[in-house]
Structure 1
Amino acid sequence: MQRIPIQMLTICGIAELPDQRDRSVTHVLSILDPNHPDPEAFEAYDRHRRTILRFHDIINPIPGMILPTPQDVEAILRFGDDVAEEEGGRVEGHLLVHCHMGISRSTAAMLTLMAQANPDESEDRLFERLAEIRPQAWPNSLMVDFADDLLSRHGRLTDALRRHYGRQIRRMPNYVQVMHDLGRGREVEMAA
């Protein structure tokens, strides 16, 4: 079973970025709203490789907002390919994926990277590992749907996402109202 060629995986939000400064971060995937300024926290980081993607954390079209696209998920997969190629199978390093809160876009991106690096790992195990990394994970369903297709998981990743949402709602019932308030009620309805 292939693993992401990085020994440490972290997901966080912008407010947590300063806390990661001294943790030897080597690779960063930043997912930001289109007009959000670049986080200043990275000025204090040691040298690292960083990719920035910009789109909103939405699952339905909203006027004036940018939906995640298959091209965004392809960019995440290219990032994963680049990390694997750069590391050449070594396990040194620290991969940090962040978005604004470290709950939705970043967890969908990390799930995508883990599924890419571990094509034979079960989808449920990938979600278990994701929850170990970021217990509050609520991956953006649109991004997961694109990853499912691009990684030829034939709906299995999306089915596992439904089960993950169900577990998260049982653990954190407040997510039902939060997701409805954010216009993400469809994801609550997906929960199995």
Structure 2
Amino acid sequence: MTLPFKITICGLAELRQHRDARVSHVLSILDPEFPAPTAFADYGAHKRLELRFDDIIHEQEMLRAPQPAHVEALLKFGAGLERVTEAHLLVHCHMGISRSTASTALLVAQAAPAMPPDEIFAALHKIRPQIWPNLRIIEMGDEKLGRNGTMVAALRQLYRRQIEADPNWVSEMRAGGRGREINLAYS
């Protein structure tokens, strides 16, 4: 199955590289206090949604966790994107690894409800090999989209493959307070 629209996933440092890519839609996910990127001034006309939350998977003091309202906003932003002629979605977060890939997976799942989650993650892995989608975002989106846990189950397999390819994921994720993702990989 092919993706329902063209997708670019990147980190902040890569935004300028995509200014000539004819992006039609931008989902910008930033840390709460981070300044808005100036790179979009060099882009052509596009629709843009900016969301602000930290890359965490559970509530933590002094940080802003992704909330259901964030997932609702990104799904509203992406509604009907598959029907836009020559749609090209660019999704970025700080590094282009976790919040952006989780959000992109949900937008694809919404636009292509018949596409199995493992195929969604495989397609995104081809676009961005270093993906590690944020579990909290996937859990909320799985529920909102009525995917009955299939997105989370497919994420388990993706985490396992990423750990097999690079075992450093285990210590990095645990050090970042994301041990639940590692536990999911081994469950």
State the TM bucket, normalised to the shorter chain: over 0.9
Q: CA deviation at 1:152?
A: 0.5
2 CA distance for matches of 1:173 and 1:63?
A: 29
- Write the letter of the residue equivalent to 1:161: L
Residue pair 2:109, 2:120 contacting (<8 A) in 1 also: yes
Which of residues 110, 131, 134 in structure 2 aligns to 1:116? 110
The residue matched to 2:49 in structure 1 has which SS? strand
Which of residues 20, 24, 28 in structure 1 aligns to 2:22? 24
Residue pair 1:9, 1:94 contacting (<8 A) in 2 also: yes
Q: CA RMSD in A?
A: 1.5
Partner of 1:41: 39
2 CA distance for matches of 1:14 and 1:150?
A: 28
Residue pair 1:2, 1:117 contacting (<8 A) in 2 also: no
Residue pair 2:80, 2:111 contacting (<8 A) in 1 also: no
* Identity in percent: 49
Partner of 2:171: 177
Provide structure 2 residue ranges, at least 5 long, that are not aligned to the other structure: none
* TM-score normalised by structure 1 residue count: 0.92
Partner of 1:78: 76
* TM-score normalised by structure 2 residue count: 0.94
Q: CA deviation at 1:60?
A: 1.5
Q: CA deviation at 1:127?
A: 1.2
1 CA distance for matches of 2:36 and 2:80?
A: 22
Stretches of 4+ aligned residues off by more than 2 angstroms: 1-4, 82-85
Deviations 1:110-157 (A, max 9, x none): 000111111111111111111111111100000000011001111111
Partner of 1:9: 7
Q: CA deviation at 1:93?
A: 3.1
Provide structure 1 residue ranges, at least 5 long, that are not aligned to the other structure: none
- Write the letter of the residue equivalent to 2:74: I
Residue pair 1:2, 1:118 contacting (<8 A) in 2 also: no
Partner of 2:66: 68
1 CA distance for matches of 2:130 and 2:184?
A: 17
Q: CA deviation at 1:171?
A: 1.2
